[in-house]
Homo-oligomer: A and B are copies of this chain.
């Protein structure tokens, strides 16, 4: 893809760097820039630890890693206000962490423990934290797109100026819910920003083999009023800038957006799937690894003197300690109480329920 090429080259030549420095640092304070890096490193280290725990059988079910895509979550979510909403599919560890869900609560969830952010009921695919408006964690491809429109509807309903950020995978652009959600968001002017994380594959199938469109972002053409932009998803600042533009449109003009972040997942679709194999070559993965969003961004911070190599080491060390502590916390957290198995089915009263539901027990 043309856009990919241009992206991959750019930022590699010193001159580009010079040119970019000012515009690209978006006038952000050094602290903010560092925190962007810190968030990406935390997400990376967190998932490396999670993968390790999965291998050890401490985590079960499906575990979908985000490694390689960190710039998308870090750039996009930090463009939000605290009272905004974030919703995602099942590859959402990094998004939860960036949004402010405690690493220990996420890790405990993966371990299926009572202190997990979803009390051990949801697992990796279903992370929730109402205190930071993190709305999950949805396992049915596309199902959260109309839900995001509903959050946007509620914002307009209450005449608020909040926005809803919704992440989806590239393969989700072929499902009907995508079409129905975007049509409603555009027609009713809902403050929702849909970000396609185009990592080129839906499981083992290249998106170019199932979607009858070259640039997924162009699907916005079917919905008048829907702003759209394709973004370099390996560049945290470009993600941040594009999302800020979309957030402004949503907040000030109730204008929804469809962004396409060009990115890549370095690991397999899930722990069951090898990082490369039948559907993609080792070379392809290596090529993208050469464009690691964390490496390139830290290089720039260092090259521009905003951070020292040692500063980076310390930041990385802190992240490693945080996830280690999270793992210990998860390990120590109790399993959900079996006597409360029925407590979370209904929030309200449920007449003559559990007692006779399984009289055979």
A257 → B minimal CB distance (Å): 14
Whether B174 contacts A176 by the Cβ 8 Å rule is no
Question: Is A187 an interface residue when CB atoms closer than 8 A count as contact?
Answer: yes
Contact partner of A222 (CB less than 8 A), chosen from B177, B180, B222, B225, is B222
Encoded as 1 (CB less than 8 Å from any B CB) or 0, chain A from 213 to 226 comes to 11000110111111
Contact partner of A226 (CB less than 8 A), chosen from B178, B182, B212, B219, is B212
Contact partner of A223 (CB less than 8 A), chosen from B187, B213, B226, is B213
Whether A222 contacts B224 by the Cβ 8 Å rule is no
Question: Chain B contacts of A176 at CB under 8 A?
Answer: 175-180
A144 → B minimal CB distance (Å): 15
Whether A187 contacts B211 by the Cβ 8 Å rule is yes
Question: Chain B contacts of A186 at CB under 8 A?
Answer: 212
Question: Chain B contacts of A175 at CB under 8 A?
Answer: 176, 179-180
A223 → B minimal CB distance (Å): 5
Question: Chain B contacts of A214 at CB under 8 A?
Answer: 224
Whether B224 contacts A221 by the Cβ 8 Å rule is no
Identify the interface centre among A177, A221, A225: most chain B CB within 10 Å of its CB. A221
A112 → B minimal CB distance (Å): 34
Cβ < 8 Å to B, chain A residues 151-205: 174-180, 182-183, 186-187
Contact partner of A211 (CB less than 8 A), chosen from B178, B183, B211, is B183
The distance in angstroms between the C-alpha atoms of A219 and B226, with both chains bound, is 13
A208 → B minimal CB distance (Å): 10
The distance in angstroms between the C-alpha atoms of A223 and B179, with both chains bound, is 12
The distance in angstroms between the C-alpha atoms of A241 and B179, with both chains bound, is 31
Question: Chain B contacts of A32 at CB under 8 A?
Answer: none
Question: Is A281 an interface residue when CB atoms closer than 8 A count as contact?
Answer: no
Encoded as 1 (CB less than 8 Å from any B CB) or 0, chain A from 20 to 32 comes to 0000000000000
Question: Is A317 an interface residue when CB atoms closer than 8 A count as contact?
Answer: no
Question: Is A35 an interface residue when CB atoms closer than 8 A count as contact?
Answer: no
Question: Chain B contacts of A3 at CB under 8 A?
Answer: none
- Nearest B residue to A181 via CB reads B176
Question: Chain B contacts of A218 at CB under 8 A?
Answer: 221-222
CB-defined A-B contacts under 8 Å, sample of 18: A174-B179, A174-B183, A175-B176, A175-B179, A176-B177, A179-B179, A182-B212, A183-B212, A187-B210, A187-B211, A187-B212, A212-B223, A213-B222, A213-B224, A218-B222, A219-B222, A221-B221, A221-B222
**Pairs A-B, 9 closest by C-beta atoms:** A176-B176, A179-B179, A186-B212, A187-B212, A221-B221, A222-B222, A212-B223, A219-B222, A176-B180
